[in-house]
Every structure is written in C-alpha cells, then in structure tokens.
Amino acid sequence: MLYTEVPAAKTARFQCSGQSMPMKKRALSTTRIILIGFLVTILLGSLLLSLPISSASKKPVPYIDALFTATTATCVTGLVTLPTVSTWSVFDQIVILLLIQIGGLGIITIMSGLMLILNKKMGIGDRLLIQDAFNLNTMSGLAKFVKNVLLGTLIIESIGALLYMLVFVPEFGAKGIWISVFNSVSAFCNAGIDIIAENSLCNYATNPLINAVTSALIILGGLGYIVWWDVIGVIKSRSPKNKRIFKHLTLHSKIAITVTAGLILVGAALIFIFEYNNPLTIGEMSLFDKIQVSFFQSVTTRTAGFASVPQEDLTNASAAVSLILMLIGGSPVGTAGGMKTVTVAVLVCSALATIRNKNSSTLFGRRIAESSIKKAVAVAIAFFTICATSTVLLTATSDTSFIDALYETVSATATVGLSRNLTSTLNTVGKIIIIVTMYFGRVGPISLAIALGSKNESQNVISEPTEDISIG
C-alpha cells in the first residue's frame, strides 16, 4: 500500500516534544480553516465577478448574482441564476474556472500544493491539517499524497479536454479549445457548469463521446483520491497471474466502488423504465439513445449537475429516483458532494445489523468501527437538517411548488446543480437561501466529519447513569 501507519512511539514523540497540538484543538483549527477558506474564496470571487469587465455586456452584474455564481462555482454546485455562456466574459469565465478548481480540490489541497511548488517544507502543523482534511489515519507520505492528487487531477482533466476537443473544436473552432478545458475541469470537479449553451448538454444528449467522457470524468472525480491510489497500488503489487484486484482493496475502496456502481446501474435502469414512454425526455429516442441518456442522468445526479434532458420534464418517479441519488452523492475524499456512498453504506449496514439483532455491523468480512457509525449518523442528520430547513424557507418565501423547492434544496445541499428550472426565477431572498444552503452543504458535513474525527478526545471520567428507552 502507498501509506503506512505511524508507529505509536513516533506519535508519542511528536506529542511529548510539544510539536503537535491536542487533537481537539487541531480538529477545530482545521474546521475553521475550511470554513474561512471557502468563505474568503467566495467573497473574493464575487468581487471579481461584480466588476464591469466580468460581464459580456460590460455592465455590472447585480452583486447578488455575482455572489451566487461565486458560491456555486466554489462549492462546485452548478446552480446558476444567469446563463454562464452568455452572461460572463472570458475574464470572468477564467475566474469561475479557478473557483471550480479550488472548490473541487479543496482549500487545504490548494494551500499544500502551493507550498510544494514554492519548495517550502511542511511542518507538523501542516501535515496535521492535511491528515484531518483528507481524514487519513497516517502522517506518512502526505507530501507525496498531495503531489499525486494534483498530478492525477492534471492528467485526467487534460485527457478529458483533449477528448472533448474532438467534438468542440470542429464545431466552435479555436473557441472549442477553451470550451473543452472548461468543461473537463467542471466535469471532473463535479461542478456541472458549462460554457456551451444555456440548456447545459441537452444539445448533446445523444452524442456518445460527450456522454462517455463526461460520465467518466464525473465518476473518477466522485470515487475519490484514496480509491485511485488504492487500486493503483494493488495493481502494481499483484503478479500477472493474480488478477483478483478487488479482493485486495481496502474496505473503504470496496464500499465506494460497489455502492457507486450499484447506484449508477440501478438508477439508470429505473430512469430508463420510468422515462421510456415520456415524449418530453427519451420517449421519441432510439433504444441506444434511451439507454445512454438514462445512464447519463443517473451519473450526473451523483453531484455533477450537467443536464442532458430538462429536469422539469422528468416523471415524478424519475424525479424521486434523482433526489435519492443526489442525496447520496459520491465518495469521500473526492470532488463530489452529498452524504457520500460510504456513509450511506455504513448506515444501511448498521440498520440491518440492528434488525437482525447482531452485536456488530460487518461489510466484506470486516467489522465497522462504532466511531464510523456515529460519524455516519451525524453526517446524515446534518444533511437532512439542512435540506429540510432550506426547503421550508424556500417554499415559504418563493412562489414555487414543493417538489421544485425540494429538488432545488437537495441539489444545493448535495452540491449537484440540477434544477427544475427554478434557479433563474428565484427572488433575492430565495437566492440568499440557496447561497447559504450551498455553502453549508459543501463545508458543513466536511467540517462535522473532521470535528468528529478526534482520536484522542478526552473521555469523561464520570459517566451518567444508563436507562433504556423505547425505540420504534
């Protein structure tokens, strides 16, 4: 494997030498850095987007729309109040692209990458920040980890851009190069913002190359960096005769890959069935086109936000499936949002263990730690709280239906970016609600997970008496 556990003696030496902070303080510091980092990035981005040079018409864009755009880009959501392709100048599109890249990789990753570029040595505090941000159980090889993340991102985004050029350069000429780069970064970071057309990718709904490249970028970004290196490490360590790669993966990777594949395939099958005869979506398409559009819809709901069919034209059943897929999202330590595949798998496994009256929850022959179950419950509660609160507020302050409001807030909380044509009609209060929802949807669960990741948290010497209560 690429990373190894730090020996206990080494850890103790760090602690005794006074070079490390208590875990509780460290966790809080990391949380603050993430919260403040995202906020500062959003505010700086909104100021740049509000400049007259940023608008294609050379007229200042209302600040609320600039703030909304900066938030949706930094939080890699994709909801937009103004069409990206026709509203913003090239300067502004560059700003949006930088915000997407920062938001996708994460503040800590960008900061660490800059330190490596400037040849600055990482101290213990910097390593602790990276460890917390990526929820790693090791301090070994963190600089290499960051380098691999940045290099892997660059390689994948470059390949994606080159493949996009096969379609966009013949259609748009030299401008197609910029469109390809922008779309590749946006797809890999699961942002869902494009500069192709005002209707997202609807004009390319039946283009196999666009569907395949976009889906691949979304899935790779959503799986997470840890899964990448785990798979690569196992492949390198296996002999040519031993092809059982999956067996030797970590539990995290097994869960992430299995749940991701299962959700995409099941989601695609359900959408295919529910939309088969819908003339507004895939009803008039060939069988092959119906399959690829259904597959793309299932993939893009994994927090990507690109639309190949109008979301408001989906049947209620397909909308319900999309809502579930959006809530779950991608995998931890990646560019996707949502509650995350591993979180949901842990919750389901724990529930099944309780129903079967088992003492522990197991997956792939491994027992899930109680601390992981507690974190999963906390993250799920945080997500549902944000979604419920935002839905109620949006319904109360905007002239919209419940299903459209729910779709919008779930999309914002899970940083998806799909909308049933509601975002552009929001009033100022509605825009503020979605801005706050996107921000908390992006940083809230992450910060909560970090805060709960304290391993050396002091335990109460005196505990309260235990008493059984009725459940269910």
Joined together, the tokens standing for residue 68 give 């909304």
Cα-only R_g, the chain: 22
Two tokens, residue 2: 């690429």
pLDDT of residue 12: 38
In the numeric block, which tokens belong to residue 333?
């330590």
pLDDT, tens digit, 9 for 90 and up, residues 8-36: 433 333 333 344 444 444 444 667 777 88
pLDDT number for residue 137: 66
User: Measured between alpha carbons, how far is 410 from 328 in angstroms, rounded to an integer?
Assistant: 10
Q: Can you give the pLDDT of all 472 residues of the chain as single tens digits?
A: 333 333 343 333 333 334 444 444 444 466 777 788 899 999 999 999 998 776 777 778 899 999 999 999 999 999 999 998 888 989 999 999 999 999 888 877 887 888 777 777 777 777 777 776 676 666 777 788 888 888 999 999 999 999 999 999 999 999 999 999 999 999 999 998 999 988 889 999 999 999 999 999 999 998 888 888 888 888 887 765 566 788 888 888 999 999 999 999 999 999 999 999 999 999 999 999 999 999 999 999 988 889 999 999 999 999 999 999 999 998 887 788 889 999 999 999 999 998 888 888 888 888 888 888 888 898 899 899 999 999 999 999 988 899 999 999 999 999 999 999 999 999 999 999 999 999 998 887 666 666 655 544 444 555 567 665 655 5
In 3-state terms, what secondary structure has residue 433? helix
Report residue 326 as tokens: 């959006």
Identify the burial level of 116 via C-beta atoms within 10 angstroms of its C-beta, where 0-12 means exposed, 13-18 middle and 19 or more buried: middle
- DSSP assignment of 397-462, as one string? HSS--HHHHHHHHHHHHTT----SS-GGG--HHHHHHHHHHHHHHHHHHHHHHHHTT-SSPPPPSS
Return the closest-CA partner of residue 205 out of 290, 134, 316, 105: 290
Give the phi and the psi of residue 26 in degrees, each rounded to 5: -60, -45
Contact between residue 56 and residue 394 where contact means Cβ atoms under 8 Å apart: no
Instruction: Write down the pLDDT at residue 453.
Output: 57
Distance CA 330, CA 337 (A): 6
Tokens of 145: 């980890």
Contact 75, 38 (CB under 8 A): yes
List, for residues 214-255, the tens digit of each pLDDT value.
999 999 998 888 888 888 888 887 765 566 788 888 888 999
* Separation CA 265–CA 343 (nearest Å): 19
**pLDDT of res. 242:** 61
The residue ranges of every structural domain in the chain are 18-451
Tokens of 300: 């893009």
Q: Which two tokens stand for residue 468?
A: 């059984």
